[in-house]
Amino acid sequence: MSYTGPDPDAPRVPRRRRLPALVTVAALAVAAPAVWLGWQVIGGTGEGALKKATPPASGSPSPTDDAKNGTVPLPLKGKVVVIDPGHNPGNFRHTTDINRTVNIGNESKECDTTGTSTDAGYTEARFTLDVARRMRTILEKQGATVKLTQDGDRPWGPCIDERARIGDKAHADAVVSVHADGSAAGNRGFHVILPAAVHAGAADTRPIVAPSRDLGERIGTAFHQVTGEPRSNYIGGGTGLDTRSDLGGLNLSTVPKVFIECGNMRDPRDAARLTSGAWRQKAAQGISEGIMSFLRR
């Protein structure tokens, strides 16, 4: 907008007459805050009403911004989750190492196995490691401290007893061992394996049976909802839950822990899902949501 100067014919105002006006304006500027404060006190509105009446300044941080800046705690802050990717892609090269036996409390079992694969050769070990890494990303964004029992950073293993100790030493709030099954074609669906009550040798699962069942049920529900994978039609009687006493990873755990068999690699319909990166992301999301539900209960 342009500026137009005063009319040259207008009478000139003597300079000395501006002083009273300036003094008056200054006095009002000084008195205004006191008048406003007095009105607030008399009116009974107080500081809260003043804040409510004042709109937030442009660019003020929102609660989401606060969370990003770390001023609002993330949902899983302070929680420790251990993810156990079943088997190891290099196990097949170290059969002597993985075939040695370890004590699991009530019996002895092989240190580890090679796992299964699809008919086309996509291995369970590759599947579990991929899903575990995706889960780590999801859970860390929620504030959890996440540890993997192996991250493709060792040639084989670890053995099942060491896998259990990793969760125990981390004082994990939840441990999930990720697997895929190798049953006959036509057998499909997922199932979650829960620890039985075992008290023998170094094994005593009695304190973790109940919380592990809670963890497993929540994972099963979330996994089914997110992935659309049906509950197993060959294990668990339609519940998608199976309780076992012969798994060292469960027997030797002192913290809540479950296994999940995400599907059957030998069934063509399940294999099509397990080999899909998009579906593996859903699997990671479903398992993670079950863990989050358990930790926020």
The residues carrying an active-site annotation are 261
Distances 93 to 98, 161, 202 between C-alpha atoms, Å: 10, 20, 30
Q: Which two tokens stand for residue 290?
A: 């079950």
23 by Cβ neighbours in 10 Å (0-12 / 13-18 / 19+) ranks as exposed
3-class DSSP assignment, residue 291? helix
Residues 179 and 32: their CA atoms lie apart, in Å, by: 72
3-class DSSP assignment, residue 87? coil
Residues 262 and 260: their CA atoms lie apart, in Å, by: 6
Whether residue 173 contacts residue 255, with contact meaning beta carbons closer than 8 Å, is answered with yes
Beta strands, E only, the chain: 80-85, 101-103, 108-110, 145-148, 174-181, 191-195, 199-200, 203-204, 241-244, 257-264
Show the 3-state SS of 252-284: CCCCCEEEEEEEECCCHHHHHHHCCHHHHHHHH
Residues 3 and 84: their CA atoms lie apart, in Å, by: 75
Which stretch of DSSP H or E encloses residue 126?
A: helix 124-141
Residues 113 and 226: their CA atoms lie apart, in Å, by: 29
Residues 33 and 47: their CA atoms lie apart, in Å, by: 14
